[in-house]
Structure 1
Amino acid sequence: MRKGVVEYCVLGLLAREPMYGWQLAEALTAAGLIASIGTLYPLLGRLRDNGWVSTFDQPSDAGPVRRYYRLTDAGIDRLALFRAQWQPFARTVSGLVGEERP
Protein backbone atom coordinates (compact mmCIF):
# COMPACT_ATOMS: atom_id res chain seq x y z
CA MET A 1 0.00 0.00 0.00
CA ARG A 2 2.84 2.38 0.82
CA LYS A 3 4.41 1.84 -2.58
CA GLY A 4 1.47 3.51 -4.30
CA VAL A 5 1.75 6.74 -2.33
CA VAL A 6 5.45 7.12 -1.52
CA GLU A 7 6.19 8.96 -4.76
CA TYR A 8 3.47 11.48 -3.91
CA CYS A 9 4.88 11.84 -0.39
CA VAL A 10 8.22 12.71 -2.00
CA LEU A 11 6.50 15.27 -4.22
CA GLY A 12 4.77 16.69 -1.14
CA LEU A 13 8.05 17.03 0.74
CA LEU A 14 9.67 18.71 -2.27
CA ALA A 15 6.73 21.12 -2.54
CA ARG A 16 7.89 22.52 0.80
CA GLU A 17 11.53 22.97 -0.23
CA PRO A 18 14.25 21.39 -2.36
CA MET A 19 15.87 18.52 -0.48
CA TYR A 20 18.82 16.21 -0.97
CA GLY A 21 18.45 12.45 -0.94
CA TRP A 22 19.50 11.87 2.64
CA GLN A 23 16.98 14.44 3.91
CA LEU A 24 14.21 12.76 1.96
CA ALA A 25 15.25 9.32 3.19
CA GLU A 26 15.29 10.44 6.82
CA ALA A 27 11.79 11.94 6.55
CA LEU A 28 10.36 8.91 4.76
CA THR A 29 12.07 6.39 7.04
CA ALA A 30 10.89 8.21 10.17
CA ALA A 31 7.34 8.09 8.79
CA GLY A 32 7.69 4.35 8.13
CA LEU A 33 7.22 4.77 4.39
CA ILE A 34 10.54 3.33 3.22
CA ALA A 35 12.86 0.77 4.75
CA SER A 36 16.16 2.30 3.65
CA ILE A 37 17.78 4.97 1.54
CA GLY A 38 18.52 2.32 -1.08
CA THR A 39 14.84 2.15 -1.99
CA LEU A 40 14.62 5.91 -2.47
CA TYR A 41 17.08 6.49 -5.31
CA PRO A 42 15.30 4.32 -7.91
CA LEU A 43 12.09 6.17 -7.05
CA LEU A 44 13.82 9.54 -7.48
CA GLY A 45 15.13 8.36 -10.84
CA ARG A 46 11.58 7.51 -11.95
CA LEU A 47 10.31 10.89 -10.79
CA ARG A 48 13.09 12.58 -12.77
CA ASP A 49 12.40 10.41 -15.83
CA ASN A 50 8.71 11.40 -15.60
CA GLY A 51 9.75 15.05 -15.56
CA TRP A 52 8.25 15.66 -12.12
CA VAL A 53 11.53 16.55 -10.39
CA SER A 54 14.81 18.07 -11.46
CA THR A 55 18.18 18.10 -9.74
CA PHE A 56 20.89 20.57 -8.97
CA ASP A 57 24.19 20.24 -7.12
CA GLN A 58 25.10 22.43 -4.18
CA PRO A 59 28.32 22.52 -2.14
CA SER A 60 28.06 21.40 1.46
CA ASP A 61 29.99 22.63 4.48
CA ALA A 62 29.73 19.12 5.92
CA GLY A 63 31.28 17.16 3.06
CA PRO A 64 30.96 16.55 -0.66
CA VAL A 65 28.62 18.33 -3.04
CA ARG A 66 25.00 17.37 -2.47
CA ARG A 67 22.47 16.62 -5.20
CA TYR A 68 19.22 18.39 -4.44
CA TYR A 69 15.81 17.55 -5.88
CA ARG A 70 13.06 20.06 -6.61
CA LEU A 71 9.63 19.96 -8.20
CA THR A 72 9.19 20.92 -11.81
CA ASP A 73 6.02 22.56 -13.10
CA ALA A 74 4.87 19.09 -14.19
CA GLY A 75 5.56 17.80 -10.67
CA ILE A 76 3.52 20.62 -9.16
CA ASP A 77 0.65 19.75 -11.49
CA ARG A 78 0.92 16.03 -10.71
CA LEU A 79 0.88 16.70 -6.96
CA ALA A 80 -2.15 18.97 -7.31
CA LEU A 81 -3.99 16.20 -9.18
CA PHE A 82 -3.10 13.66 -6.50
CA ARG A 83 -4.23 16.00 -3.73
CA ALA A 84 -7.59 16.51 -5.45
CA GLN A 85 -8.09 12.75 -5.73
CA TRP A 86 -6.67 11.67 -2.38
CA GLN A 87 -9.30 12.96 0.08
CA PRO A 88 -12.32 11.43 -1.68
CA PHE A 89 -10.39 8.17 -2.12
CA ALA A 90 -9.29 8.07 1.53
CA ARG A 91 -12.87 8.75 2.73
CA THR A 92 -14.21 5.94 0.54
CA VAL A 93 -11.61 3.45 1.76
CA SER A 94 -12.16 4.46 5.39
CA GLY A 95 -15.89 3.93 4.93
CA LEU A 96 -15.33 0.46 3.52
CA VAL A 97 -12.72 -0.77 5.98
CA GLY A 98 -13.98 1.07 9.07
CA GLU A 99 -14.86 -0.74 12.26
CA GLU A 100 -16.98 -3.82 11.93
CA ARG A 101 -20.51 -3.68 13.22
CA PRO A 102 -21.54 -6.29 15.81
Structure 2
Amino acid sequence: MMSEALRGHLDALILAVLEREPLHGYAVMEALQVSSGGALDLPTGSLYPALRRLERAGLVESEWSTVSGRRRRTYQLTAAGSRALATERTKWRDFAAMVDGVLHPGPATA
Protein backbone atom coordinates (compact mmCIF):
# COMPACT_ATOMS: atom_id res chain seq x y z
CA MET A 1 0.00 0.00 0.00
CA MET A 2 2.77 2.45 0.91
CA SER A 3 4.50 2.20 -2.49
CA GLU A 4 1.19 2.74 -4.28
CA ALA A 5 0.37 5.75 -2.11
CA LEU A 6 3.88 7.15 -2.65
CA ARG A 7 3.67 6.97 -6.43
CA GLY A 8 3.51 10.48 -7.84
CA HIS A 9 4.65 12.14 -4.61
CA LEU A 10 8.30 11.10 -4.37
CA ASP A 11 9.62 14.17 -6.18
CA ALA A 12 7.80 16.54 -3.83
CA LEU A 13 9.06 14.63 -0.78
CA ILE A 14 12.65 14.85 -2.03
CA LEU A 15 12.29 18.56 -2.77
CA ALA A 16 10.89 19.09 0.74
CA VAL A 17 13.88 17.51 2.49
CA LEU A 18 16.31 19.39 0.24
CA GLU A 19 14.54 22.65 1.10
CA ARG A 20 16.01 22.36 4.61
CA GLU A 21 19.63 21.95 3.53
CA PRO A 22 21.81 20.47 0.78
CA LEU A 23 22.25 16.72 1.28
CA HIS A 24 24.03 13.81 -0.38
CA GLY A 25 21.89 10.94 -1.64
CA TYR A 26 22.12 8.67 1.38
CA ALA A 27 21.34 11.62 3.67
CA VAL A 28 18.23 12.32 1.56
CA MET A 29 17.09 8.74 2.24
CA GLU A 30 17.78 9.15 5.96
CA ALA A 31 15.93 12.50 6.09
CA LEU A 32 12.89 10.95 4.40
CA GLN A 33 12.91 8.08 6.86
CA VAL A 34 13.29 10.32 9.92
CA SER A 35 10.69 12.86 8.71
CA SER A 36 8.19 10.07 8.10
CA GLY A 37 8.69 8.49 11.52
CA GLY A 38 10.31 5.49 9.86
CA ALA A 39 7.40 4.81 7.50
CA LEU A 40 9.43 5.64 4.38
CA ASP A 41 12.24 3.20 3.78
CA LEU A 42 13.11 4.12 0.22
CA PRO A 43 15.32 1.79 -1.82
CA THR A 44 18.29 3.40 -3.56
CA GLY A 45 16.86 2.11 -6.84
CA SER A 46 14.04 4.64 -6.45
CA LEU A 47 15.94 7.57 -4.97
CA TYR A 48 18.87 8.05 -7.31
CA PRO A 49 16.85 7.98 -10.55
CA ALA A 50 14.48 10.52 -8.97
CA LEU A 51 17.39 12.79 -8.01
CA ARG A 52 18.77 12.60 -11.57
CA ARG A 53 15.30 13.35 -12.99
CA LEU A 54 14.92 16.37 -10.69
CA GLU A 55 18.37 17.59 -11.71
CA ARG A 56 17.59 17.24 -15.43
CA ALA A 57 14.40 19.23 -14.83
CA GLY A 58 16.41 22.02 -13.17
CA LEU A 59 14.70 21.58 -9.80
CA VAL A 60 17.87 20.52 -7.99
CA GLU A 61 21.54 20.98 -8.71
CA SER A 62 24.44 18.93 -7.48
CA GLU A 63 28.14 19.16 -6.88
CA TRP A 64 30.78 16.81 -5.63
CA SER A 65 31.88 17.30 -2.05
CA THR A 66 33.76 15.39 0.61
CA VAL A 67 31.59 14.23 3.51
CA SER A 68 33.20 12.33 6.38
CA GLY A 69 36.24 11.69 4.21
CA ARG A 70 34.17 10.27 1.34
CA ARG A 71 33.49 11.90 -2.00
CA ARG A 72 29.73 12.30 -2.46
CA ARG A 73 27.37 14.14 -4.76
CA THR A 74 25.48 16.76 -2.75
CA TYR A 75 22.10 18.00 -3.98
CA GLN A 76 20.43 21.33 -3.30
CA LEU A 77 17.18 22.95 -4.29
CA THR A 78 17.18 25.55 -7.06
CA ALA A 79 14.84 28.55 -7.28
CA ALA A 80 12.76 26.58 -9.77
CA GLY A 81 12.70 23.69 -7.29
CA SER A 82 11.39 25.99 -4.56
CA ARG A 83 8.59 27.18 -6.85
CA ALA A 84 7.77 23.59 -7.86
CA LEU A 85 7.65 22.55 -4.20
CA ALA A 86 5.25 25.41 -3.37
CA THR A 87 3.00 24.27 -6.23
CA GLU A 88 3.14 20.64 -5.07
CA ARG A 89 2.25 21.64 -1.52
CA THR A 90 -0.83 23.51 -2.77
CA LYS A 91 -1.88 20.56 -4.95
CA TRP A 92 -1.38 18.20 -1.99
CA ARG A 93 -3.49 20.32 0.36
CA ASP A 94 -6.29 20.47 -2.23
CA PHE A 95 -6.10 16.70 -2.83
CA ALA A 96 -6.00 15.88 0.90
CA ALA A 97 -8.99 18.14 1.56
CA MET A 98 -10.94 16.43 -1.22
CA VAL A 99 -10.14 12.94 0.10
CA ASP A 100 -10.94 13.99 3.65
CA GLY A 101 -14.28 15.39 2.47
CA VAL A 102 -15.15 12.04 0.93
CA LEU A 103 -13.90 9.87 3.79
CA HIS A 104 -15.30 12.08 6.52
CA PRO A 105 -18.35 13.81 5.07
CA GLY A 106 -20.15 16.44 7.09
CA PRO A 107 -23.91 16.49 7.59
CA ALA A 108 -25.88 16.06 4.38
CA THR A 109 -27.39 19.20 2.93
CA ALA A 110 -30.79 19.24 1.27
- Normalising by structure 2, we get a TM-score of 0.78
- Which contiguous aligned blocks of 4+ residues in structure 1 show a shift greater than 4 angstroms? none
> Which of the numbers 1, 14, 19 marks the counterpart of 1:15?
19
Aligned pairs (5 A) from 1:1-102: 1-30=5-34, 31=36, 32-60=39-67, 62-98=68-104
**Sequence identity (%):** 37
Conserved 8 A contact 1:21-1:67: yes
Q: Deviations over 1:14-45 (max 9, x none)?
A: 11111110011123345333531221001111
Secondary structure (helix, strand or coil) at the match of 2:58 reads coil
Which whole-Å CA distance do the structure 2 matches of 1:3 and 1:34 have between them? 14
Which whole-Å CA distance do the structure 2 matches of 1:24 and 1:6 have between them? 12
Deviates more, 1:36-45 or 1:23-32: 23-32
Alignment coverage as a number of residue pairs: 98
Deviation, structure 1 residue 81 = 1.0
- In structure 2, the gaps of 5 or more residues are 106-110
- In structure 1, the gaps of 5 or more residues are none
